[in-house]
Structure 1
């Protein structure tokens, strides 16, 4: 019977042992011997203590000695070294065995491997600590609300104020836009009432000082084990700096657009005589063709063929005049920027037409070399024409101060990788190296009457189109201003005008 009991104990998965009252081990089951690699003969005296981790042994012995015989079993968690030299956690249980007279006769012990549980507990503690660190240091904060939508939890940095001030209140109790944007709040309340998750809900609230604060919140509903709704939990983040920066940037863009419009109108004012001259030509030709048609019709017999030809020329002249007026109106008109597919050569030709008289009046020889078959670009026609208008007028003005040199203006376009390159080269006095670097700075100018905003505006326009504008010295004399405009991706080109 004792052999059978010993065999059964030997098969137990835990480490089983017995010892005399003085602690001398007198029995080890097979599992103990396999795990520790020690036989009973190896455990003379207190040899088993060598298998307990040095950090755990003092506590185990102190607990063992302090427990009276009349009490229950001793329980401790200790690390035991295996035959492979590695330590594993075990739950150590030791029980006093008494004889019929109540005398202490034996220790009985059982140790269960709890290493996996201890590892899981440690990982859980590390995860909790990591989560706590994230929560305490993140720019976002965490929140929870109950079934009544009142805050039940807010982490430290919530709303830039003491979280305790908002516990027990609803987020809209502090909102500054609850009445001014009712539709937005109606939709989020409907989401809450239907127990749906929400993301990136932005609202305005008051921070700890009472100043407006913009918050972005996301949340999801929480349900208990029985499937009952128990509230929401989620995150919040402060968007105040971002929204203020976006509004400042929008204001800056508006101011730049207004300034660009003013610059464009001012330049066109300087071109008034040139535009008037451009209009005079088609109007004079139209009048001449009208007189020719009348003369042909009053003959006897009337010359219908010649009259028809004159009338057709009259119509074409009227269309030319209308086109000049429309182009001028487009440049003067204050309208938001738009991105259209356009032929850069045609847009340049229109501006050259408006400036041709001014160029001629200043004795400038104009040379236009626009590449054929350029791909279409995407941009605002009026804004890109403003860039060309500014560069052409700057070149003409710089050369008008010269009396001893031939005045030449070369305008070219050519394809480059993924873009079109436009260049305006003059034979004027050029720019010193320092001026080449500073030419595009706001309020920097080499003109006695200049504001120093034209080239700065031009660079802003080109960069807004995804291109680049720069200045360089022209060979053998003068300055060269060049800019690129990205082409539309995909096949297709547009013809040269």
Structure 2
């Protein structure tokens, strides 16, 4: 037989009074009030999502509100006795049964949270709270209780716990100490990591703002306080200061926080994170020390590079100087009067080579010190032709055909005469060395205009770069020659880039190597254009 709550005790009192002879009208009013109260009771139970029940002294259900059947999609008889356990989530069933059995064996109250299967098959969290009561007629004690729907509360609490767990994990990952200050009560709350940061025992740490203020370095208190007061509303407060550890030493900390304010703009609460800057500062000092060491190393490297550059560039004029002097001496020893003119020519050439060496030293000094040299309009054909003449004087020339396109006459560029000649000379020398084993060796120099720049192309029919990558040839001390220094192309790049141009190399598909460099173009004067046209 199904059992359920049917009404309030006031209903029984009204019927007894009626039997005692009170008027039918008064009895009707009492019955109507009883019905209204009963309806209010049912409404209260439903709106609060609660299900009242009664169980016997052993915990078997003997009465439960019809709302249980509506929610669970079952008959009330399915809840009687211990049948309600079949609706409990399998993971909660054993625990609930044990807790209920233990309560009935001597406890006066019982509370347990569990999941119950609903009519749609889903599970919702309920809290079962019951207390033991003793009927006035002396019969066996019973349990009366409420099943309260706490699903939304439980899930919100679980979400909050998960969020807090993620928050704690993030705090552990960043090694930051989370803190909060209630500016109304002046109480400070810190995360657990504060003990490992400062070394104080948990018992030593208090929530008093004055206690924490005492731990700030005296020289930092005024600055920290002023920084906090000056923080604009809605912006993050960031401040570095020192905190005293338990051993008396101070550690550098950075505090990042957001200041919550009320409607009037008054600060009421501060929440933030405290980061230990000790390791960061030590790392910064190591980096600064390494940077100083690198600067010293760079200076030594620059000095070595300058020395190598001078050696590389002075080799040719000094070799020519020595050759001319030896030739003149040889002619003098011969004592032939007809050699007089040849001796004078050799001595003049030697003097020219000596002046060339001095000029190279001066220009190299200007280049390395990032000076611009003596910049002026330089004709491309003249610079290329000068370099060709110097290349042909070299004993390693091997009769290479160096053809310079006549179009180079038409272009002037912004540069220094010696530096421009040096660019052509270095590339010509490298090409001549690469063409030693090439039949019918040749070098071709052409030019094309590109708006405010001109692009010069120097191509040969040699073996190319072999296994080397063209883009790596311009690095200092990189060379493909057995006895090369590896500075010729690096010097070319330095000169070209200092003048606002660029240089690159590429392998020719049909064989050989090509170097291309750009230079700022100088527009000819109008009268020069007319002369050229005429």
TM-score range, shorter chain: 0.5 to 0.7
Q: Counterparts of 1:75 and 1:190 in 2: how far apart (Å)?
A: 53
Q: Which residue of 1 aligns with 2:466?
A: 433
Report the equivalent of 2:150. 114
Aligned partner of 1:452 in structure 2 is: 486
Corresponding residue to 1:15 among 50, 54, 60: 50
Distance 1:271 1:452, change over 3 A: closer
Change (3 A) 1:38 1:227: same
In structure 2, relative to structure 1, the CA distance for the partners of 1:190 and 1:351 (3 Å cut) is farther
1:291 paired residue number: none
The whole-number CA distance in structure 1 between the counterparts of 2:514 and 2:455 is: 10
Partner secondary structure for residue 433 of structure 1: coil
Picking from 257, 279, 286, the partner of 1:220 is: 257
Partners of 2:376 and 2:152 lie apart in 1 by 76
Higher relative contact order (CA 8 A, sep 6+): 1
- Give, in angstroms, the shift of residue 23 of structure 1: 4.1
The C-alpha deviation readout for 1:34-62, integer Å capped at 9, x for no partner, is 21112223334322111111222222222
Tell me the distance in 2 between the aligned counterparts of 1:107 and 1:399: 110
Structure 1 length normalisation: TM-score? 0.58
Aligned-partner Cα distance in 2 for 1:151–1:116? 29
Q: SS of 1:116's equivalent? A: helix
- C-alpha distance after superposition, 1:386-441 (max 9, x if no partner): 7994464132354278698565341535659xx98945424374445125567456
Task: Pick from 432, 439, 450 the counterpart of residue 399 of structure 1.
Answer: 432
Maintained 8 Å contact 2:257/2:270: no
TM-score of the superposed pair, with normalisation by structure 2: 0.54
Of residues 507, 516, 519, the one that matches 1:472 is 507
2:66/2:76 contact within 8 Å kept: no
> Cα–Cα, structure 1 residues 483 and 247, in superposed 2: closer, same or farther, change >3 Å?
farther
Taking structure 1 as reference, are residues 394 and 55 closer, same or farther at Cα in structure 2, changes over 3 Å only?
A: same
2:170 corresponding residue in structure 1: 134
2:387 is equivalent to residue 358 of structure 1: yes
Partner of 1:79: 115
Larger helix proportion, structure 1 or 2?
2
Is 2:88 the partner of 1:52?
yes
Q: Point out where structure 1 has 5 or more consecutive residues left out of the alignment.
A: 204-209, 274-324, 339-345, 486-492
Q: CA deviation at 1:67?
A: 2.7
Match of 2:477 in 1: 443
For the aligned residues, what is the CA RMSD? 5.8
Rate the CA distance shift 1:55–1:43 in 2: closer, same or farther, 3 A. Answer: same
Within a 5 Å distance, the mapping from 1:94-105 to structure 2 comes to 94-100=130-136, 103-105=139-141
Aligned-pair CA distance for 1:151: 12
Which whole-Å deviations, capped at 9, do the CAs of 1:272-325 have from their partners, x for residues lacking one?
79xxxxxxxxxxxxxxxxxxxxxxxxxxxxxxxxxxxxxxxxxxxxxxxxxxx9
> Is the aligned partner of 1:233 residue 2:270?
no
Pair 121,67 (structure 1): closer, same or farther in 2 beyond 3 Å: same
Q: Report whether the alignment pairs 1:367 with 2:396.
A: no
Q: Secondary structure at the match of 2:132?
A: strand
User: What count of residue pairs does the alignment treat as equivalent?
Assistant: 398
- Give 1:202 shift: 12
Q: Deviations along 1:341-400, whole A, 9 cap, x unmatched?
A: xxxxx9995787666423223344433767999xx9xxxx989x9799446413235427
C-alpha distance after superposition, 1:169-194 (max 9, x if no partner): 97879xxxx9xxx9xx9987853564
Q: Please state whether the residue corresponding to 1:480 is helix, strand or coil.
A: strand
Greater Cα offset, 17-26 or 163-172: 163-172
Give 1:251-330 correspondences, 5 Å limit: 269=314
